[in-house]
Chain A
């Protein structure tokens, strides 16, 4: 692996299309509702959520497990059927057309998101747009290099790579598809602590360099604080707060955001006074203690 956190500026290489080409769109989610099941057993994972990711900006989407944040991310790339609402990229409704999506997703678990029987080069090659087929090998090498993977490793199978390297490959694959928008779903939470920082640095540097819009989904407020321009907070399928990062973190409006913030462990900071009872959110958040589970495991699968 290359020295972590440094990005070789290969975008301006002669002959090749700039890496950032096509990566300047905006994403608009309009009144998205995702419902699983039918009739009485139906579960609403995402309930009428509207969210905009302006071109070139990073929007952090935070929430607990079962908040519907991952489902919303998957809905944005068309992996989850949308019950109601529209996904717009650069103002164009994506509908249900098949084929390459202008929004690409980087998955949480790099051990599951790469085909174990396909060399990493082949995985990235699958993303290269058809019009670039002739230069495919070149493109693969370029994107691997961009994420700090030696292109000489492109013939390796994923199992020969570490978790951090695999996540870099997954990122290269997503970028190679020239997405207008990137959705990153908990991309560091499956990684070892010591490599998380390097991957976050890489994502941050690439985003700043290439200027793509990104929806960064995480449960980790510190990570989102580090990366995002704006922060959206979801709880039980509903968007409860959205605003500039600084404002949401320093002056949160919603109870749930406050509860999330107070739960972040900080070195040397004492725990809440009492363990409380189950269901009772630390700050008496939305829905409060009604004896229901605090994460009725909605969606998120």
Chain B
């Protein structure tokens, strides 16, 4: 894994540099401070008692005439040692308490969880004071108390993370392979929770530093003749009004070290989370053929040379697509083919940091290059209806909102329309169902609700992105039929995104096949029976068994895998997997060319046979 380079990269940022310098400084002072300044710090000078800060003594001297600045330097080691010791206790305690419930039996696990919950709920400082009193006043016991005090919070985090990892399939797999509990913890759980725990520990350390200084300041921590920063603050307390500088030294040291702990956490987070710096984008050379078509002018949605770029790669390459009024167009492709992004671009919903550019991006006389699509003429239906509905609001409220916001309808009128729309999409008892929340609906019903929401306005285009992928086949057919019925009634056009060419063929007039961010073929659904022209389309159909596939023959397969995002090739992107690929395919990218009425294909050597063997299309 590229962990080391990522850490190096994180250290090269301004914050990383500052963190490295501060950490090094504190460490050096902790190691060499007592050697260099030890004598000065302990020298009692009865002539210089209670000196104010000045050139001779940076922060003045204390009640015994000792130089405070030197004492701050010397105290660094003890303060750090105690902080790290307490942190160690917190981490050990937290890890043990946090991981145990996952491996113990259900009852013991619950007991531990409940205990930790109770301790977390208990005020932290009170808990520490309580422990400090029990263990007695003293340096070691204070560190112990603080460490234990921070353990419940750490345990809580570890418990949550562990529970998440323990529920994963790979831990389940290890269990059925008979891997022992201890090995599961060490090999499967701990490595996968290490990063967030490390982050949390950095914060805990900063908190412990402050807490410990507080204890010492109160006189419960480090006892004379030892001293840490908190103790130094305590000693200067009565002078703070007269000579503030005497308290500034230890105070500043605490703040600076605390910040450094926090910064270390940030740097570790930066190194572990997210991707590194963005690679500079190479501007791809566009192969643009200039032929504006007549149909484009009248299209409801017209997309010309659409490109969607993300840092480091181009996800959609020069896609030209138009949907006319009332037409149903299906985009078929695998994950990463750019089919969803194409649809999202048409709706102005491409997620950050994606950048959309197009020569033309027009929907219903609205130039989407300049304006966002507005109003209710565009309806979206997503794959996961649970994620696209607000779980906290009733379904009726969410639907009514559309009418209220966009049509200025009153509350009652809007709700009445919501009820009507829910009825229109086949929801039984819509009058009662409007007051239910999304979780009270099943997957298929939620998808109906999403469609109803689109119908609250007068949609001219419905974009449905894998609307049935999360549904059962029986429900899938109903939702698809509903989309068809809705279209028949409202006259809206449909842009249906799916990985399943069969689904698209049932609902759409025209199929667009995408691969690696490009349209590779476009054809009327009726022509599917005559066979497709692009080898990828043919393979896509042949690779999936259907109810008529010959059981005795291996499935047609496509060797290799789709290109990863950012994996750019010369020539046809499908060439590495294509049995028909020639040298030309590997060097020159084919352009989308018209091969018949309504048919376009981007291939140098399209399949021309009328009936191909891969699929018996009825």
Contacts and interface: CB of A to CB of B under 8 A. Distances in A.
A274 B548 CA distance: 25
Contacts of A92: none
A116 B1 CA distance: 10
A162 B474 contact: no
B40 to A, nearest CB: 50
B351 interface: no
A194 B177 contact: no
A73 B561 CA distance: 30
A193 B540 contact: yes
A276 B481 contact: yes
Contacts of B529: 268
Interface in A47-71: 64-65
A159 B460 CA distance: 42
Given A107-B169, A127-B177, A272-B477, A197 B558 contact: yes
Interface stretch (B83-91, B201-209, B442-450, B588-596): B442-450
Contact of B441 (A74, A222, A262, A293): A293
A294 interface: yes
B557 A201 contact: yes
A78 B176 contact: yes
Nearest to B174: A126
Among A198, A204, A221, which residue has the most Cβ atoms of chain B within 10 A? A198
A222 B429 contact: no
Given A219-B472, A263-B477, A275-B482, A294 B499 contact: no
- For the residues of A in contact with B, the DSSP-based class is loop
Contacts of A259: 474
Nearest to A110: B169
A272 B478 contact: yes
A225 B549 CA distance: 9
A101 B547 contact: no
Interface string A285-299: 100010101111100
A249 B603 CA distance: 39
B191 A117 contact: yes
Given A79-B176, A275-B481, A267 B557 contact: no
Interface string A157-184: 1000010110000100100010000000
A109 interface: yes
Interface in A77-112: 77-79, 98-101, 103-105, 107-109, 112
A70 B534 CA distance: 37
Interface string B512-544: 000000000000010011000000000111111
A225 B561 contact: no
Chain B interface: which size bin? 35 or more
Contacts of B500: 193, 265
Contact of B478 (A108, A165, A282): A282
Contacts of B507: 271
Contacts of A74: 172
A193 B499 contact: yes
Contacts of B541: 267
A192 B335 contact: yes
B365 interface: no
A197 B542 contact: yes
Given A196-B543, A277-B426, A115 B551 contact: no
A272 B617 CA distance: 19
Contacts of A113: 168-170, 172-173
A201 B554 contact: yes
A137 B437 CA distance: 54
A260 B177 contact: no
Interface string A246-257: 000100000000
A293 B440 CA distance: 9
A289 B427 CA distance: 11
B445 A194 contact: no
Nearest to B189: A115
Nearest to A63: B472
B160 interface: no
B618 A266 contact: yes
Given A64-B472, A201-B555, A296-B442, A173 B173 contact: yes
15 contacts: A3-B559, A4-B557, A113-B168, A113-B170, A115-B192, A116-B192, A126-B179, A157-B1, A193-B334, A194-B558, A201-B555, A201-B557, A276-B426, A278-B445, A295-B475
